[in-house]
A and B are shown apart, each in its own frame.
Chain A
C-alpha cells in the first residue's frame, strides 16, 4: 500500500475555489464514505480548514487512484474536472509523507509556525479514527506526523516570534512588564490598528482598558466593547499617570504627547515603566520621548521592523525544521518498506510448508510408519524447512536500502510471483 495526498491550499487555489471544495459539516463524513467506496482507496482521512482541503489516503496503485480521486472530487462538489487541474496537487510515497509532516509542523501554513494547524490535523485524524476510515498505514503516519510537529516545535523556534504588528506589541509588552495581569491600557484615539492591538492585549489579560477619544460617544462605544471605561480626551494626561501601556492613534496631524508632558507624568508615576505604542501616521507622540528613562516608545515602523526581523528569524528556523522532517521521512519510508517485505516472508514460508506437507504425504503413503516414527519424520522435515528459509527471511527483514531488490530477487529465486 502507498500513501497518496490530494489537495489544494492557499498557494494553489483562491478562496473562491477553496470554499467550493471544502468538506464542512456533514459533507466531511459523506466524503470519507464515498472515498472508501472507491476501488483503489483502502484508508482515508480529510483535513478541511479555511486555508487547505487535503485528502490523505492509503492506496494500492497511486496512478489509478489519482484518477479516481480526481473524479470523486469533481463529482462530489459538482465542479468540472478541467477546473481542478490548476488548483489540485498530488503527492505520493516519500513526497506525500514529507508533505503531511510539513503541514502538521505548520511549515506549509500561510503564516509559517502558526499553532492552529496541528490541532486541526489532530481533530481530522480523530474523526477518521472514530469513523474507522484509517488503518495501520494512516494511523502510523498520522501519529508520526503529530510527533514530528511536536519535535519541530520544541527543537526549533519556528513558532516563537510574533509576525504581526499587534502580536509584536504584545510580545514587547511582555518583555517589559513580564505579566500583563495588573496592567492598565490607555487607548488614545480609536484607529483600527490600535483597536486590534488593544484586543490582543485584552486577550492577554490586561487589568483594564481606558478609552480617550475626541468624540466622547465613540469612545464610550469602544469602551463598552472592551468592558473598560471612557474618559474625555482632554483628561488623557491625568489618565496616563495610571496607564502602563498607551496605544495612540488619534489621527491628529501633529504631536499630541510631548517630552515635557511625559517627564512630569513619569515623576508622578514614581518612574514606573510605561510602554507607548504610536500607531498614528503622521506620528502623534514626540519620538524624543524614547530618550526618557523607563519609557519605551515604538512607532509603526519600529514595530514593522520587529515583525520583519522576526520573519527572517522564522525562515531560518524553518530550514532547521525541514532538516528534522527530512530525517523523519526517511525513518518512516523504511518502516513502509519493511511492511512491503512482509507478504514475501509469508509467501516464502507458505510455499516451503506446502512442499514439505506434500512430500510427507507421499512418503507416508509409500512407507508404513507408526505414529511415533511419523512424528519424528515430521519434526525433521519442519526443522529442515525452517533452517532453509531462515536466511532468506532474515534478509527480507533486514533494514537495508536495497530491500526492494532483495524482495524482487527472493520472489524470483523461489518463484513466488505466480502465487
Chain B
C-alpha cells in the first residue's frame, strides 16, 4: 500500500512534466489541462502515501533524504496548486513540474532507510521544524521558478524580440509581485524552522547551535532571503535583482540539500 501509492504518484508526476514541456513547445488549451489533471492525481496519491507512512511509523515521514525529497516535492505541488488557483499561472507548471519530478525521482532511487529514529531525535519539535522548513523551502523554490519566468519575460521586453513565450507569460508586474509574496511567505516560515530547530537542538544536544555545516548553510540561506526582503523594502531592489537573488537563494538551498545530504557528516545527519 505504501510504496504502490508512491509509484503511482511518481508516474502521474512524470506525465504532468511531459505535458508541461509539450505545452512550452506548442501552445494549445489541452496540454495545461492534462498537466493539471495529472499533477492533481499524482498529488492525491502522494498525499495518501505521506499520511500512510506517517501513521505507520508514528512520526512525521521525512527524516531521511528519501523521505525528505519526496515531501519537498509535495510542498512544491501544494504551493503550485495554490498559485494556480489564485493567479491562473498554468505556465508556471512548465518551470515547476520538472523540478518537483526530479526530487521525486531522487527519492525513488535513494535506498530505503527504515531504521528507527534515534531516541535523541524523538521530540515534538521534529514535526514543527521539518514541516516549516519544507514549506519555506518550497516557497523559495516557487519564488525561484517565478524568478526565472521574470528573467525570461524581461529578456523579451528588453531585447524587443517579442516572440516565443512573450504573449503567454504574465506581465512583469505580476511576476515580480508573486515572487515578492512568495519570499514574504517563505521567510517567516524559514525563521520559525530555524528557531524551532535550535530549540530542538538545545533539547537534544544541549546547545542551540553546533556550527554544523547544515546549520551554517541554513543561516546563509536565511541571510540571503533576508537581504532580498530588506533590499526591496529599503532600496527598491525589485524586478531583475529580486528575481536573480531569489534564484541564488534557492540554489543555495539545493546545494545544501544535495551536497550535505550526500556527505552525511555532522550532527544533522539525516538531512
Within 8 A of A (CB), among B89-138: none
Q: Any chain A CB within 8 A of the CB of B238?
A: yes
Q: Which residues of A contact B173 (CB under 8 A)?
A: 176-179, 273
Bound Cα distance A172, B171 (Å): 9
With A294-B240, A309-B163 known as contacts, the answer to whether A178 contacts B158 (CB < 8 A) is no
Specify which of B160, B171, B238 is in contact with A294 (CB 8 Å cutoff).
B238
- Closest Cβ–Cβ distance, residue A132 to chain B (whole Å): 39
Contact B236–A271 (Cβ < 8 Å): yes
Bound Cα distance A7, B42 (Å): 58
Contact B157–A293 (Cβ < 8 Å): no
With A175-B172, A176-B173 known as contacts, the answer to whether A294 contacts B162 (CB < 8 A) is no
Bound Cα distance A177, B163 (Å): 19
- Closest Cβ–Cβ distance, residue A376 to chain B (whole Å): 62
Q: Any chain A CB within 8 A of the CB of B241?
A: yes
- Closest Cβ–Cβ distance, residue A39 to chain B (whole Å): 49
Contact B171–A306 (Cβ < 8 Å): no
Specify which of A160, A172, A272, A305 is in contact with B157 (CB 8 Å cutoff).
A172
- Closest Cβ–Cβ distance, residue A323 to chain B (whole Å): 15
Q: Any chain B CB within 8 A of the CB of A302?
A: yes
Q: B224-241 toward A: CB 8 Å interface, digit per residue (1/0)?
A: 000000000001111111
Q: Any chain A CB within 8 A of the CB of B167?
A: yes
Contact B171–A175 (Cβ < 8 Å): yes
With A175-B153, A306-B160 known as contacts, the answer to whether A293 contacts B171 (CB < 8 A) is no
Contact A177–B171 (Cβ < 8 Å): yes
Q: A169-199 toward B: CB 8 Å interface, digit per residue (1/0)?
A: 0001011111100000000000000000000
Bound Cα distance A177, B239 (Å): 12
Q: Which residues of B contact A157 (CB under 8 A)?
A: 167
Bound Cα distance A290, B235 (Å): 20
Bound Cα distance A174, B172 (Å): 9
Output the nearest chain A residue to B172 by Cβ-Cβ distance. A176
Q: Which residues of B contact A296 (CB under 8 A)?
A: 157-158
With A160-B167, A175-B171, A176-B172 known as contacts, the answer to whether A271 contacts B160 (CB < 8 A) is no
Q: Any chain A CB within 8 A of the CB of B174?
A: yes
Residue tally, chain B, CB below 8 Å to A:
20
Q: Any chain A CB within 8 A of the CB of B45?
A: no
With A175-B171, A176-B171, A178-B173 known as contacts, the answer to whether A298 contacts B160 (CB < 8 A) is yes
Q: Any chain A CB within 8 A of the CB of B270?
A: no
Output the nearest chain B residue to A168 by Cβ-Cβ distance. B162
- Closest Cβ–Cβ distance, residue B265 to chain A (whole Å): 41
Q: Which residues of A contact B171 (CB under 8 A)?
A: 174-178
Q: Any chain A CB within 8 A of the CB of B166?
A: yes
Q: Which residues of B contact A161 (CB under 8 A)?
A: 167
Output the nearest chain B residue to A267 by Cβ-Cβ distance. B236
Within 8 A of A (CB), among B235-260: 235-241
- Closest Cβ–Cβ distance, residue A349 to chain B (whole Å): 47
Output the nearest chain A residue to B170 by Cβ-Cβ distance. A178
Bound Cα distance A309, B166 (Å): 12
Q: Any chain B CB within 8 A of the CB of A270?
A: yes
- Closest Cβ–Cβ distance, residue A361 to chain B (whole Å): 65
Q: Which residues of A contact B172 (CB under 8 A)?
A: 175-178, 273
Q: Which residues of A contact B162 (CB under 8 A)?
A: 306, 309-310
Bound Cα distance A320, B82 (Å): 35
Contact A175–B241 (Cβ < 8 Å): no
- Closest Cβ–Cβ distance, residue B154 to chain A (whole Å): 9
Bound Cα distance A270, B153 (Å): 21
Contact B160–A273 (Cβ < 8 Å): no
- Closest Cβ–Cβ distance, residue B241 to chain A (whole Å): 7
Specify which of A293, A302, A305 is in contact with B239 (CB 8 Å cutoff).
A293
Output the nearest chain B residue to A161 by Cβ-Cβ distance. B167
Within 8 A of B (CB), among A269-303: 269-273, 290, 293-294, 296, 298, 302
Contact A271–B238 (Cβ < 8 Å): yes
Q: Which residues of B contact A293 (CB under 8 A)?
A: 239-241
Within 8 A of A (CB), among B177-208: none
- Closest Cβ–Cβ distance, residue B4 to chain A (whole Å): 40
Q: Which residues of B contact A294 (CB under 8 A)?
A: 238-240
Output the nearest chain A residue to B157 by Cβ-Cβ distance. A296
Q: A7-18 toward B: CB 8 Å interface, digit per residue (1/0)?
A: 000000000000
Bound Cα distance A157, B236 (Å): 37
Contact A270–B236 (Cβ < 8 Å): yes
Bound Cα distance A270, B170 (Å): 23
Specify which of A175, A272, A290, A305 is in contact with B166 (CB 8 Å cutoff).
A175
Q: Which residues of B contact A160 (CB under 8 A)?
A: 167
Bound Cα distance A160, B158 (Å): 21
Q: Which residues of A contact B238 (CB under 8 A)?
A: 271-273, 294
Output the nearest chain A residue to B159 by Cβ-Cβ distance. A290
Output the nearest chain B residue to A291 by Cβ-Cβ distance. B158
- Closest Cβ–Cβ distance, residue A253 to chain B (whole Å): 25
Within 8 A of B (CB), among A27-43: none
- Closest Cβ–Cβ distance, residue B181 to chain A (whole Å): 14
- Closest Cβ–Cβ distance, residue B147 to chain A (whole Å): 15
Q: Which residues of B contact A290 (CB under 8 A)?
A: 158
Bound Cα distance A293, B235 (Å): 13
Within 8 A of A (CB), among B145-171: 153, 157-158, 160, 162-163, 166-167, 170-171
Bound Cα distance A273, B239 (Å): 8
Bound Cα distance A305, B237 (Å): 31
* B163, B167, B240: residue with the most chain A Cβ atoms closer than 10 Å: B167
* A157, A293, A296: residue with the most chain B Cβ atoms closer than 10 Å: A293
Q: Can you list 17 pairs linking A and B with CB atoms under 8 Å apart?
A: A174-B171, A177-B173, A178-B170, A178-B171, A178-B173, A178-B174, A269-B236, A271-B237, A271-B239, A272-B236, A290-B158, A293-B239, A294-B240, A298-B160, A306-B162, A309-B163, A310-B162
Query: Footprint of A on B, CB under 8 Å?
Result: 153, 157-158, 160, 162-163, 166-167, 170-174, 235-241
Query: Footprint of B on A, CB under 8 Å?
Result: 157, 160-161, 172, 174-179, 269-273, 290, 293-294, 296, 298, 302, 305-306, 309-310
Q: In the complex, given contacts A174-B171, A293-B240, what are 10 additional A-B residue pairs having Cβ atoms less than 8 angstroms apart?
A: A157-B167, A161-B167, A177-B172, A178-B173, A269-B236, A271-B236, A272-B236, A273-B172, A306-B162, A309-B163
